Amino acid sequence: MAMKFADYAAYDATGLAAAIRNGEVSADEVHHTAIDAVQQMDSRLNAVVDGPWSVPPVLPATDGIFGGVPFVTKDVVCHAKGVPMRMGTLALKDGLVFDGNTALMERFLKAGLVLVANTTTPELALSCVTISRLTGVTLNPWNTDVTVGASSGGSAALVAAGAVPMAHANDGGGSIRIPAARAGLVGLKPSRARVSAGPDFAEIMGGNAIEFAITRSVRDTARLLDAVHGYEAGDRYAAIPPSRSYLDATRQRPTGLRIAVTSESMSDVPVDHEVVDAVNATATLLTDLGHEVAVVEHPIDWFGLIDAFNVIWGFGVAATVTQVAEIGGVDISPDYFDASTLVSYEYGMSLGALDLANAYARMNDITRRYAKFMAGHDTIVQPTANRVHVPTTHLDTKTSPATSIEWVQTVLEEYPVCCLYNVTGAPALNVPLMTATDGLPIGIHLGGRMFEEDLLLSLAAQLEEARPWAQRRPPIHVAVLD
């Protein structure tokens, strides 16, 4: 037996878990509905690599805070025992199977989340569009001609389309926040070390990448972060623990925050006038809510930031490609890897120890400058994406770059604010606060100080209350299937 799709999709994860606990609906009903929903939305959006599974491949706790809630994982980094991982590359087309769960997967399961599918990602999660030779193009349920954005697009597509209430994602240059902006969702990139990458990694991409999730509501983001954050034995780093639960933070309305606002473009891609208007409207809303809003110039030079980021990128790509080729038993060649991946691989292989040391020194300089700027502000508000209507094909003519820096700049220039928070490790959050005239989401980016996710979530909850987005739904959505 299954629920009506409209009833199922009306819940966020918190609400669905409560309905299961209270006996309003059974976990079996929810599971059957989720399987059908994921299958139907995948047929329209191409968002699934493996699944949906009628029987969960790994069993969750039944008493977790999200007990019985369906969940999907992005097909890179976070993995479950016995479930193949392909990482969007032909080099692993048969799948890499692990004999255990990652620490984050264990925490997802302890929270009661029920794994129903793995979602699409570009090759090795190295692009700003969810396209690969392995799985094809993942579409945006709001408009199939507009990219769903970055490497967590499969997860974002299914959440936005109502197939699951939230999904795993990770972020090495914006891949939680970018698809959240494109799909009208909440996307938090936590502080560095807030969520463990163990046991497989001490850090990913030189500490630039971090694991977490995409949700529909701020309270779901807060509850999930409460469930999965924290040091795991053997981790290289640990984050300062929060002074209060993240859920408690969302129940308190902040006043008098010092908020910096800028809609200027950090890259050569101009900011759409509709996006500028959305940022200005956000500034007005924040003023009306009692905060001190100041228009500022961005404190960091983007092109210098990208130079440092590119070295870490190349270094990480070289290591990853080498390992993946060995595991897959394939040559490092165009037969198995994209031209853009190979350019970054070759650049990474050309780097020396001093190149890497100098890049880390520049990252430190950027991080210190950002921290100094943020000493005078509680958060900074910017557009998550510079443009609203970026087609799925916008990288088609650029997938064979001459240099690694050319590719990295192309990947990040539509979303230039995002990678700053990967380099600094500070938390950042996309909220789906505004819309364009044609109804497409416009994401607003909240940047914070290190380890202050609670403040960002508190502000995001206030904005969600003032300008709710729960009832906004894309044209491709499970509710229209009833």
Grouping H, G, I as helix, E, B as strand and the rest as coil, residue 201 is coil
Closest to 363 in 3D by CA, of 300, 295, 421, 305: 305
What is the C-alpha separation between 218 and 442, in angstroms, rounded? 17
Six-digit token string for 33: 């509905």
372 is catalytic: no
What is the C-alpha separation between 225 and 63, in angstroms, rounded? 17
Q: Is 399 left (phi over 0), alpha (psi -120 to 50) or beta?
A: alpha
Closest to 216 in 3D by CA, of 8, 422, 26: 8
| Enclosing H/E stretch for 381 | strand 379-383
Of these residues, 132, 175, 263, 458, which one is catalytic? 175
What is the C-alpha separation between 482 and 473, in angstroms, rounded? 15
Grouping H, G, I as helix, E, B as strand and the rest as coil, residue 249 is helix
Pairing, β 210-215 against β 186-189? antiparallel
Question: How many CA atoms lie within 13 Å of 196's alpha carbon, on the beta-carbon side?
Answer: 23
Of these residues, 74, 263, 267, 458, which one is catalytic? 74
Residue 52 in contact with residue 70, Cβ under 8 Å? no
Measure CA 18 to chain center. 25
In this structure, which amino acid lies at residue 188?
Answer: L
Question: Would you give the DSSP letter of residue 481?
Answer: G
Of these residues, 127, 151, 191, 265, which one is catalytic? 151
74 is catalytic: yes
Residue 482 in contact with residue 213, Cβ under 8 Å? no
Residue 169 in contact with residue 145, Cβ under 8 Å? no
What is the C-alpha separation between 339 and 367, in angstroms, rounded? 32
Pairing, β 186-189 against β 166-171? unpaired
What is the C-alpha separation between 417 and 153, in angstroms, rounded? 19
Residues belonging to the active site: 74, 151, 175
